[in-house]
Every structure is written in C-alpha cells, then in structure tokens.
Amino acid sequence: MPTERAAANARAGAYLEVDLAAVRENYSRLSARLGRAECAAVVKADAYGLGVAQVAPALWAAGARRFFVALPDEAIALRKVLPTAQVYVLGGLFGGAERDYLAHGICPVLNSLAEIDAWRALPPAERPPAAIHFDSGLSRLGLPANEARRLIEEPSRLKGIEIGCLISHLACADEQEHPLNSRQRQAFSEFCRRFPHLRRSFANSSGIFLGPDYHFDIARPGVALYGGNPTPGRENPMTSCIRLRSRILQVRDIARGESVGYGATFTATRPTRIATLAMGYADGYSRYLSNIGKLWLADYCAPIVGRISMDLITLDVSELPADISMPGALVDLIGDRETVDDLAERAGTIPYEVLTSLGGRFHRTYKEA
C-alpha cells in the first residue's frame, strides 16, 4: 500500500525541493561576514516563496532572532511558528490594524510622523518595540527629510516608545559603484547621529557586500539567504537552496512543417521529437520564456519550443537519447545547471521575482541536512 505521501508524489506534475541546510548555511555565511553586527532575516512573501513555516524555524536554528515581513498577516502567521522572535512589519502600522500588533506582540516599522503619533497613543504597557524608518533616498516608505527634521527638533514625539532600531533601505545596493549608495549611507548616518543610543539597520543582502561601512548594527538580508546572488556580475557567494523539476507527460514525433502550441509560434524544420511537461505559467514559469527557455534532463539541454501554456511546456528533445526523454522522466527547471539567477536573466527579470512567483501546485519537500 503506498503511503499518502507517496501517492501525492505520484500525482504531482512538478517537484520543489527546498534545502533548509543551505538556507542555514547562507545565514551563517552572512553572519560571519557581518562580524559584530547582527544578521536579521527578511521572510516576507512566504520567505520569498520558499515557505515561511519551514524556512523561519531553520533561520531561527541558525541564530536569527529578528525577522522582517511586509504585512501584518504575514507577521501573525510567523508569530505562530516563532513565538519568541522579534517580528517587524515593514509596511508600517496599517491604520485600523494597531490592536493586532498589540495582541500578537508584533513590532511595526513606523514610516511617518503620523504613524509614530498613532503608536504613541496606544497603551504603553502593551506596546512591543517599534522601528523608525528614515527614507534616505528610495522615496518609497519611511520618514521623508522634512518629517525626519521635525522628529529631530521634537524628540519628545518618541517619548515612551521603545525603539528596537532605526532603519533605512538602499536603492542601488546591487550596483557597487552607484553614487547613491554612499549618499544614502551618509544621510542615514547623519539621521542616526541624532539618536546615538539607538541601534541602526541599513544593509540588505547586496548592502552587506558593499563593505563594513554599510553594516551598522543590524543587517536585513532576504534574497541571499535563499541563494540569490547579492553580487550580480560576480561569482555568487551564496549556496543555491532550491531544485525545481517537472515530469514529462507525453512524447511525440512531429514532421517537418508541423507546428507546436498556441499561436503556432514554432514550426519544425525537420522531424522533431516533442516532450510535454506538467508545468506552465500557472506554476510561476514565465510565459516570456516561450521559445527562449532551456531545461535540463540529466546532462542534456533541451530548448523550449512553442508557447508556454498555463499547465504545459513543450520541449524539443530530438537530440536526447530516447530512454532519457520518456514519459515520467523528470526535467530540471531550476537547479545546479540553471540557477535562479540564470533563469531570471534569461526571463528578463530578477531572482526575487522568480522565487516569489513559485507556484502553489508543486509537491514540496524540505531537506534538513
């Protein structure tokens, strides 16, 4: 009798393996690079698509104690998994949700004077620590320069608020030579100098690799924990954490002149063997890769031909030995041969989007060691 897990395995069209040991290793590597600075962990968007319920405990086991998410609901979910972690919501106070922060012991990242005032109005005894976000040049969230000046002039606005850290976020950290990096660092340093007793958090993954001047007291890496390259254009110092495979459903031979897929965008110029995979854009594999993507079967590379559809991808496997490209065989979409960064580059996007687009239909397994 097959177990339920084996049966689910047999029913799956695609398989996502998440290597939690690699996530832990990446955390330790970043932590070592940071020296005395603390390494927090950004686990928003379901830990960048890898699964926060599994990834956050792995990061906790590796030593992470401070976590950042985007939304209050993400924080509430994380709180259930890590009851004693410090959990910050980057999106701010979400007017109307303040009581949830108190009830679940969630720390808001206060992004404006109005949010600081609203937080101060809540019962002090129930308030967890908060972060104050200073906008040093991203023009997205956080106190803009005029509000920062007012806060410096009126420090009493922070009276009674326990501040976990001051934060700011880099716009161009993945471009080492970008002049905005040092301008933002300087602006953040000047702001923090007015609050000398408070801890400072500045660097994301790439920021950590800009050097110790960018480390301050707490770093907030996300993508590097999950194997994305924080130093684009240079060798990836992180370990890849996922392997995504899909199974071949059918193989057929088509004649010269026959077309493949919606829109007939590929026409065979010779007798061609087509393998059809149980994976499509509904699983987060970008439709842009139609007639562009390349997948791997063992040591063989096979090009995607025709349009990627919702649930299916068609491959030209004419050059592969028939016993390798058979129904049931597993094809690698992300792994050692085609990393998340390779795939992102091919698809004209960034590893963040590849990871956070990973679909919900995969059979997922988590490797612990």
Ligand X SMILES: Cc1ncc(COP(=O)(O)O)c(C=O)c1O
Closer residue to ligand X (CB): 206 or 272: 206
Q: How far is the CB of 128 from ligand X (least distance, A)?
A: 19
Active site residue 262: yes
- Residue from 92, 164, 221, 227 touching ligand X (CB under 6 A): that is 221
The structure tokens listed for 260 are: 């493949």
Closer residue to ligand X (CB): 206 or 290: 206
Cα–Cα distance for residue pair 56/43, rounded to 1 Å: 7
Active site residue 44: yes
Span 36-65, contacts to ligand X by CB under 6 A: 42
Closer residue to ligand X (CB): 97 or 109: 109
Cα torsion angle, 339, 344, 345, 346, sign: positive
Closer residue to ligand X (CB): 90 or 166: 90
Cα–Cα distance for residue pair 187/193, rounded to 1 Å: 10
DSSP type of residue 347: T
Q: Which of 15, 27, 88, 262 is catalytic?
A: 262
Question: Helices (H), strands (E): how many in the chain?
Answer: 12, 19
- Residue from 89, 90, 151, 305 touching ligand X (CB under 6 A): that is 90
Closer residue to ligand X (CB): 45 or 277: 45
Q: In this structure, are residues 68 and 44 in contact, taking their beta carbons and an 8 Å threshold?
A: yes
Of the listed pieces 92-100, 111-119, 200-208, 314-322, which binds ligand X according to CB under 6 A? 200-208
Closer residue to ligand X (CB): 174 or 316: 174
Q: How far is the CB of 38 from ligand X (least distance, A)?
A: 14
User: DSSP of 139-163, one letter per residue?
Assistant: -SSSB-HHHHHHHHH-GGGGTTPPE
E strands, the chain, in order: 14-19, 38-39, 41-42, 66-69, 86-89, 107-110, 130-133, 163-167, 200-201, 218-219, 242-254, 259-260, 266-267, 272-277, 294-297, 300-303, 313-316, 330-334, 363-367
Nearest to 77 by CA among 44, 110, 49: 44
* Count of residues near ligand X by CB under 6 A: 11
Residue with the CB atom nearest ligand X in the bound state: 222
Centre a 10 Å sphere on the Cβ of residue 121 and count the other Cβ atoms it contains: 8
Tell how far CA 126 is from the center of its chain.
32
* Binding flag, residue 245, ligand X (CB under 6 A): no
Of the listed pieces 6-14, 77-85, 204-212, 340-348, which binds ligand X according to CB under 6 A? 204-212
Cα–Cα distance for residue pair 364/14, rounded to 1 Å: 9
Q: How far is the CB of 90 from ligand X (least distance, A)?
A: 5
Q: How far is the CB of 178 from ligand X (least distance, A)?
A: 14
Of the listed pieces 16-24, 187-195, 214-222, 336-344, which binds ligand X according to CB under 6 A? 214-222
The structure tokens listed for 58 are: 């792995």
Q: Which of 44, 88, 214, 226 is catalytic?
A: 44
* Binding flag, residue 204, ligand X (CB under 6 A): yes
Q: How far is the CB of 144 from ligand X (least distance, A)?
A: 16
* Binding flag, residue 185, ligand X (CB under 6 A): no
Q: x-or-dash pattern for ligand X, window 147-176, by CB under 6 A?
A: ----------------------x-------
Q: In this structure, are residues 34 and 64 in contact, taking their beta carbons and an 8 Å threshold?
A: no
- Residue from 172, 223, 279, 295 touching ligand X (CB under 6 A): that is 223
Q: What is the largest CA-CA distance in the chain?
A: 78
Closer residue to ligand X (CB): 219 or 329: 219
Radius of gyration of the chain (CA): 24
Residues annotated as catalytic are: 44, 262
Residues that bind ligand X (CB under 6 A): 42, 90, 169, 204-206, 220-224
